[in-house]
């Protein structure tokens, strides 16, 4: 975990993506204390003063870049009409569903998103966005029924629909796998 902090310290121009484009991530920073080693969890969405090993100039540069990109994005979206913003949001959610980083989850969520996200209501989009913020392995385990749903996902209608889709969809052979991949435009 120390290498992450060292990499951030070396790259003073690192830019953090806006919070709504990435899941909340944490990493552990280790600091020595007189009684041994103290481990602190640092959330990237919190104040950047918690990033160890960075000079005040590096922190200021990171914060300025972050603010510029966040404001630039909001300006671009502010210039869009409501219908355009909705289309962009749906496309972003489909992309995030297809690019989970784990083949099984990409196939399951990507194929479901291509079929369903264009037709979801705003409330259902909000629910699906909550689901997308979860870790990929957790989503897969929740959908497959391996793990029980946590309280904040148990009442989501979108979650039930995704679970039903997973039960009905089979990819038991190479032909079905290729078909799902082609239908969902997964590369």
| Predicted local distance difference test score (pLDDT) of residue 47 | 60
Task: Tell me, yes or no, whether 11 and 103 share the same domain.
Answer: no
Give the pLDDT of residue 6: 42
Comparing CA positions, the residue from 46, 54, 6 lying closest to residue 25 is 46
Report yes or no: 112 and 106 within 8 Å, Cβ to Cβ.
no
What CATH number is attached to the domain comprising 113? 1.10.150.250
| 86 and 70 both lie in a single domain | no
Q: Are residues 91 and 174 in the same domain?
A: yes
| pLDDT computed for residue 75 by the predictor | 65
Q: To which residue do tokens 């990171």 refer?
A: 62
Hey, what are 5's tokens?
Answer: 């902090």
Are residues 96 and 53 part of one domain?
A: no
Q: Where are the beta strands (DSSP E) in the chain?
A: 26-33, 36-43
Same domain, 61 and 110: no
The pLDDT of residue 70 is 73
The tens-digit pLDDT sequence of the chain (187 residues) is 444 444 444 443 444 444 444 444 444 444 444 444 444 444 445 566 666 788 888 888 888 888 887 777 666 667 788 898 899 899 999 999 999 988 888 889 999 999 999 999 999 999 999 999 999 999 999 998 899 999 999 999 999 999 999 888 777 777 877 887 787 777 6
Shared domain check, 177 and 90: yes
Range of the domain at 69: 2-79
- Rounded CA-CA distance 145/93 in Å is 23
Pick the closest to residue 175 from 166, 167, 183 (CA basis). Answer: 183
| Together in a domain, 102 and 171 | yes
Residue 174, pLDDT score: 79
Same domain, 97 and 162: yes
Give residue 133's Cα distance to chain centre.
Answer: 5
């Amino acid at each position: 975990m120390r290498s992450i902090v060292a990499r951030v310290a070396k790259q003073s121009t690192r830019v953090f993506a806006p919070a709504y484009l990435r899941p909340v991530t944490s990493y552990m920073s280790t600091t020595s204390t007189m009684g041994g080693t103290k481990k602190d969890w640092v959330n990237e969405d919190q104040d950047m003063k918690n990033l160890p090993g960075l000079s005040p100039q590096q922190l200021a540069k990171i914060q300025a870049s972050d603010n510029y990109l966040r404001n630039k994005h909001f300006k671009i979206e502010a210039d869009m009409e409501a219908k355009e913003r909705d289309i962009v949001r749906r496309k972003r959610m489909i992309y995030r569903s297809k690019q989970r980083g784990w083949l099984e989850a990409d196939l399951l969520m990507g194929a479901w998103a291509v079929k369903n996200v264009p037709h979801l209501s705003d409330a259902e989009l909000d629910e699906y966005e909550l689901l997308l913020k979860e870790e990929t392995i957790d989503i897969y385990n929740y959908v497959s029924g391996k793990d029980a749903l946590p309280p904040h996902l148990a009442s989501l209608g979108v979650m039930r629909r995704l679970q039903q889709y997973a039960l009905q969809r089979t990819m038991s052979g190479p032909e079905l796998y290729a078909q799902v991949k082609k239908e969902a435009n997964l590369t």
